[in-house]
Structure 1
Amino acid sequence: METYIRNLNVKLLMKKVLLTSVFILFIAFSFAQGYESTKYGIRAGVNISNLDFDPSPVNRNLHRNGFYFGGFAEFSLSETTWLSTELLWSAEGAKDENWRANYLNLPIQLKFKLGEHFTLGAGPQIGVKTWKSADAFDTFRFSGVGGIEYKFLEDYFIDVRAGYDFKNLLDENLSPLEATQFTIQVGIGIKI
């Protein structure tokens, strides 16, 4: 029982450290870059996530259709290059109730302008589990994201993004069962 409580306290501390780091990152970049070179905004859309198990379980619906929403800040590095950081809530996992999880994700992307309307971006993403239907999922995740954005009005855009987890998402108590996740996001956003 003491070990369980100690592990729980460590996980809670790690969540607090991660969220504090995210907050400090937003503030630091805002002051470092200045108002003219920083843009903020919101984005939201739908997720299609797919869990890939090893070894593969049978009789499971391994995908889930969900949604995401959140805010972002873009920091200009040049006329055609930006550093973008976001804080997104995302419903992911599988359709099966036992394999659902929601995350607070922090993607950090380097974005490049590809002409007048298109932007390409890629980078790492860390996430913290905010809800799960079972104790199957680990608290933290690490993945890579990449996507393309199309600006259709002065400050509005649509985007398509893909993400893939680099490590096992499942709690180590479920060993040898492991799972990684591939997620596609389609959404709309506005820069303010």
Structure 2
Amino acid sequence: MKKLALVFLAGISFASAKAQFQFGAKGGLNFATVSGSDAGDVSTRVNINLGVYARLPLAEKVSLQPELVYSNQGAGFDKGSIALNYLNIPILLRYYAGSGFAIFTGPQVGFLLGAHYKYNGNSLNAKDSYNSGDFAWAVGLAYKIPSTKLGIDARYNFGIANVEDRAHTGMTGSVRNDVFQLGVTYTLFSTGR
């Protein structure tokens, strides 16, 4: 088993030596809502996401892209909204499809930073009504603008975990985060070819 692990690590090291490691910043818009049996009649809430990413080469056209992202999510409803602020950590497998395009997918773990209901101009802390963690699956498409350090990133984060704290709310159903993100990436640092 140790020999197999060493061969695997040596393969990654060889691929990394020939490929490009990148570190960058990202930001954009969230088009967020919630789904599930306890979600009720909700609408899309538009807000921001900001973060950093690294691209670690695994093979010629494949890289691992971990990210650290502040994401303002939630949903709108009649006369108000719920703001759910997360620190999300997606771990994405990225495939370079050619002509500047890449596709990616992977799991995302989120940590709840804050939750606030806004209704008729009033704000109420609602953090106790939500679980401290979240789990989602991301799928997306990226495009690197030629001869620049800029890229465009579009993804959908499918909520998998129930984010509602049933012990606090007394509800028996579920609420899941669903977020479409559209943003810009900027490569701050790059090595290799």
Matched position secondary structure for 1:120: strand
1:167 to 2:186 alignment: no
Listed as ranges, the gaps of 5+ residues in structure 1 are: 1-28
How do 1:113-128 and structure 2 match up within 5 A?
Answer: 113-128=96-111
Q: Which residue in the other structure is 1:129 paired with? A: 112
Q: Which residue in the other structure is 1:181 paired with? A: 177
Q: Which AA in structure 2 matches 1:115?
A: G
Listed as ranges, the gaps of 5+ residues in structure 2 are: 1-11, 117-125, 189-193
Q: Which residue in the other structure is 1:158 paired with? A: 152
Asked whether the equivalents of residues 25 and 185 of structure 2 are also in contact (C-alpha less than 8 Å), the reply is yes
Asked whether the equivalents of residues 74 and 81 of structure 2 are also in contact (C-alpha less than 8 Å), the reply is no
Distance 1:38 1:81 in 2: 12
**Match for 1:145 among 138, 149, 152?**
138
How many residues are matched? 159
Distance change (3 Å), C-alpha of 1:114 and 1:139:
same
Bigger fraction of residues in strand: 2
Matched position secondary structure for 1:114: strand
Give the structure with higher Rg (CA).
2
Q: Which AA in structure 2 matches 1:172?
A: R
Asked whether the equivalents of residues 23 and 187 of structure 2 are also in contact (C-alpha less than 8 Å), the reply is yes
Cα-to-partner distance string for 1:49-106 (whole Å, 9 max, x where unaligned): 1111314535xx4321110000001101111000000000000011355622100000
Asked whether the equivalents of residues 19 and 60 of structure 2 are also in contact (C-alpha less than 8 Å), the reply is no
Distance 2:68 2:178 in 1: 19
1:104 to 2:87 alignment: yes
Distance change (3 Å), C-alpha of 1:118 and 1:69:
same
| 1:153 Cα deviation from its structure 2 partner | 3.0
Tell me the TM-score normalized by structure 2.
0.76
Asked whether the equivalents of residues 99 and 136 of structure 1 are also in contact (C-alpha less than 8 Å), the reply is no
1:190 to 2:186 alignment: yes
Distance 2:68 2:164 in 1: 23
Cα-to-partner distance string for 1:96-149 (whole Å, 9 max, x where unaligned): 556221000000000000012100000000000011111221100011001000
Bigger fraction of residues in helix: 1
Q: Which residue in the other structure is 2:21 paired with? A: 38
Q: Which AA in structure 1 matches 2:50?
A: F
| 1:184 Cα deviation from its structure 2 partner | 0.3
Distance 1:99 1:136 in 2: 11
Distance 1:105 1:50 in 2: 16
Tell me the TM-score normalized by structure 1.
0.76
Matched residues, percent identical? 25
Q: Which residue in the other structure is 1:7 paired with? A: none
Q: Which residue in the other structure is 2:51 paired with? A: 70
Distance change (3 Å), C-alpha of 1:55 and 1:131:
closer
Q: Which residue in the other structure is 1:82 paired with? A: 63
| 1:42 Cα deviation from its structure 2 partner | 0.4
User: Bigger CA drift: 144-153 or 94-103?
Assistant: 94-103
